[in-house]
Amino acid sequence: MKITRAYKTELNPNNKQKSFFAGSCGMARFIYNWALNYWIEEHERGEKRTGWMKLNTELTKLKQLEYQWMYNYSNWIRVYAIKQCDEAYQNFFRRIKQGKKPGFPKFKSKKRSKASFTINGGVINISETDIRLPKIGWVRLKEHGYIPVNPDKICYVTISEKNGRWYISVTVNETIPDEQTTKNIIGIDLGIKTLAVTSDGVYYENPKELYKAEKRLKRLDRWLSRKKRGSSNYQKAKLLRAKAYEKVKRIRKHMLNEITTELAKTKSILSVEDLNVSGMMSNHHLAKAISDVSFSEFRHQLEYKCAWYGSELFVVDHWFASSKTCSNCGAINRDLKLSNRIYKCDCGLEMDRDLNAAINLKNRAKHVRINACGQESQTDRISPAAWMKQEAGNRSYV
């Protein structure tokens, strides 16, 4: 099976390479703003918009006269910066025609915008420990052997900076073997006390990283608030705080990746509930705990990993009372409270409420998968083909 996949890992550049990357990001930001300003002025004059390829040719002429400093960097930075601006500009008017109210593309800022640049994949070379980039040469990778050395095709490469660290995302086309998943179906109930419970009785504990790091994060917040805004000490304190939050995010995402990979590889059909996360976040007593669990990221990872490994994902409507329904007799206990951790029914069932909900999700998926005509129902099913088609147009991991 052929897929488009992005491998993102951290670089280990020296000081000269860091300076080069910073200059490359500045060039990409300058060209993006230049192109956006060019098209805005054309629109104000009532002229027909110049295509991005012709605009690239115009900038090449200016490069020879006014912007000779661009010769120090790869030409692909210019090409992709103009293409990205063109995409943002056209998306704005497309959404206007659809009746939406999108925000107009903003000029990129050195302080507030994400520092990144993109180059074509055909001009790079990859080894187990290094990656060769144009104009700068070989750059060391912190994680060896993660990026495939001989993929089918390297589409493009994006280098970005966050909290003083440099990352590279290599988007490739590759062929993955068809996984032989067990022919079974499971329900997965997500929660706060326990991150996930499956219908076959497996419990995945919630790492609660935000709760563990809360004391240190509060101390860093207080430390930052005492600094004079814009000073050197303020920037140092801001960076330390950002790194602390980034560590929490990394641990959480690593845990989610381990769980979703195991489920997608070993199960053939996975049933999850379409949770109303924004509505749940309105509960101020649970909002912090809900954000720490990251339900949306869990589902997002399941969606594309099921497509990779040949599994199917069923999304059950969030109005389905999975927690209040008895998995044995089907009776609904409308008086069930969040504090009731054991589900008790008049039929004699006594079970952990999360496990009961997971079994209900499994039974619901079995029920909706086959409709009255004996054919698969498409209402709650996300097929691998549909997800891969969606991913091809919207993939962005950087």
Flag whether 310 is in a domain.
yes
Residues noted as catalytic? 189, 273, 354
Flag whether 239 is in a domain.
no
Last residue of a domain, one of 157, 175, 193: 175
Q: Provide the 3-class DSSP secondary structure of residue 230.
A: coil
**pLDDT at res. 180:** 61
Token couple for 317: 């409507």
Tell me: do 161 and 60 sit in the same domain.
Answer: yes
Token couple for 92: 């704005």
Last residue of a domain, one of 175, 197, 217: 175
Tell me: do 134 and 197 sit in the same domain.
Answer: no
Residue 143, domain extent:
2-175
Buried b (16+ CB within 10 A) or exposed e, 35-44: bbebbeeeee
Q: Provide the 3-class DSSP secondary structure of residue 341.
A: coil
Tell me: do 197 and 344 sit in the same domain.
Answer: yes
Tell me: do 282 and 329 sit in the same domain.
Answer: yes
Residue 296 phi/psi, 5° resolution? -65, -40
Tell me: do 156 and 199 sit in the same domain.
Answer: no
Sorted by sequence, the CB contacts under 8 Å of residue 21 that are 6+ apart come out as 13, 117, 159, 161, 166
Tell me: do 202 and 259 sit in the same domain.
Answer: yes
Residue 28 CA to residue 80 CA, distance in Å, equals: 8
**pLDDT at res. 54:** 92
Residue 325 CA to residue 306 CA, distance in Å, equals: 28
Sorted by sequence, the CB contacts under 8 Å of residue 116 that are 6+ apart come out as 25, 28, 158, 159, 160, 161, 398
Residue 254 CA to residue 256 CA, distance in Å, equals: 5
Flag whether 260 is in a domain.
yes
Q: How big is the CA angle at 324 (ends 322 and 326), to the nearest 5 degrees?
A: 85
Identity (one letter) of the amino acid at 88? A
Tell me: do 270 and 306 sit in the same domain.
Answer: yes
Flag whether 343 is in a domain.
yes
Flag whether 372 is in a domain.
yes
Flag whether 215 is in a domain.
no
Check: CB of residue 78 under 8 Å from CB of residue 141: no
Token couple for 322: 């999975």
Last residue of a domain, one of 127, 159, 175: 175
**pLDDT at res. 182:** 60
List the one residue out of 219, 206, 323 whose CA is nearest residue 259: 206
Identity (one letter) of the amino acid at 171? T
Tell me: do 123 and 38 sit in the same domain.
Answer: yes
**pLDDT at res. 276:** 81
Identity (one letter) of the amino acid at 354? D
Tell me: do 39 and 153 sit in the same domain.
Answer: yes
Flag whether 236 is in a domain.
no
Q: What is the pLDDT of residues 60-96, one digit of tens each?
A: 999 988 999 999 999 999 999 999 999 999 999 999 9
What is the number of structural domains in the chain? 2
**pLDDT at res. 181:** 58
Tell me: do 152 and 190 sit in the same domain.
Answer: no
Check: CB of residue 358 under 8 Å from CB of residue 197: yes
Tell me: do 133 and 49 sit in the same domain.
Answer: yes
Flag whether 228 is in a domain.
no
| Residue 173 backbone class (left: φ over 0; alpha: ψ -120 to 50; beta: rest) | beta
**What stretches in the chain show pLDDT beneath 70?**
179-183, 369-398
Residue 7 CA to residue 120 CA, distance in Å, equals: 15
Token couple for 284: 């101020």
Tell me: do 171 and 54 sit in the same domain.
Answer: yes
Token couple for 19: 């300076």
**CATH assignment at residue 279:** 3.30.420
**pLDDT at res. 384:** 40
